[in-house]
Amino acid sequence: MAKVKLATVWLEACAGCHMSFLDIDDRILGLLEKVDIMYSPVVDAKEIPKVDIGVISGALGNDEEVHLAKKMREQCDILIAWGDCAVFGGINTMRNFMPAEEALKKAYVDTVSTVNPEGIIPGEDIPQLLPKAIPVDQVVKVDVYVPGCPPDADTILWVFQELLEGRIPKVPAEMMRYD
């Protein structure tokens, strides 16, 4: 049987969901017998290829992340949102209560150790912030939701196993967590 092709991307988030994926530890070796990781922060491909399963961790907070989310949706058959940031927007949405400019000014001009007499705000050759950080499904359709901060490694693995069995998983109550 041909291996299932997987792509994972980490957008506006802390990497914790990918770390939780790695926390399946040596069980990853068994998974790799059935799944090819085509695109992911842990491999070297630079563009998202056509895949069976796409995973997005992280919210959407800048224009590049929106682009990548759309690209992932185009390239995959089934799209999974991993973690509270992708599912709900997560901690990133705490900045939605203030203008993006105010958050930037605090970080790049106002902190006690910043030395920035000209008041430079970064923005050259780098992505521009959206006015608010938003969950993935405000821009593209999501097929499977796996919340948690992060979702437990066992839950992440269970979702893959269900998909490999040909079922669209719905995370059961005992595996659901939000902390």
Partner 1 sequence: MGTVRKIEVNPITRIEGHGKITVHLDENGTVSEARFHVTQFRGFEAFTKGRDFREMPEITPRICGICPVSHHLASAKACDAILGVQITSTAHKLRELLHMGQFVQSHALSFFHLSSPDLLFGFDADPAIRNIVGVAAKFPEIATKGIMLRKFGQEIIKTLGGKKVHPWHSIPGGVNRSIKESERDSYLKEIPTMKGYVKDALELVKGYLQEHKDEVSTFAPMKTSYMGLVADGFLELYDGDIRLRGARGRIIDEFPDWAYADYIGEHVEPWSYLKFPFYRPLGYPNGSYRVGPLGRLNACDDISTPEASEELKLYRQAGEEGIVHDVLYYHYARLIEALYGVERIEQLLEDPDITGSDLRITSNELYPEGIGVIEAPRGTLIHHYKVDESGAITDVNLIVATGHNNFAMNKGVEAIAKAYIKGDDVPEGVMNRMEHLIRCYDPCLSCSTHAVGKMPLELSIVDNSGEILRKIYKD
Q: Which positions lie near partner 1, rule CB under 8 A? A: 10-20, 22-23, 25-26, 28-29, 32, 37, 41-47, 58, 61-62, 64-65, 90-92, 94-95, 97-98, 100, 102-104, 106-109, 111-116, 120-127, 129, 133, 149-150, 152-153, 179
What lies within 8 Å, CB to CB, of 124 at 6+ separation is none
Burial call 41-71: b when 16+ CB within 10 Å, e when fewer: eeeeeeebeebbbbbbbbbbbbeebbebbeb
Q: Which of residues 143 and 152 has its CB atom nearest to partner 1 in the complex?
A: 152
Q: Which of residues 41 and 138 has its CB atom nearest to partner 1 in the complex?
A: 41
Q: Which of residues 118 and 168 has its CB atom nearest to partner 1 in the complex?
A: 118
Least CB distance to partner 1 at residue 40 (A) = 8
The answer to whether the CB of 9 falls within 8 A of the CB of 139 is no
Least CB distance to partner 1 at residue 54 (A) = 15
Q: Token match 């970064």: residue?
A: 122
Least CB distance to partner 1 at residue 143 (A) = 23
Residue type present at position 29: L
CA atoms within 13 A on the CB side of 145: 18
Least CB distance to partner 1 at residue 123 (A) = 6
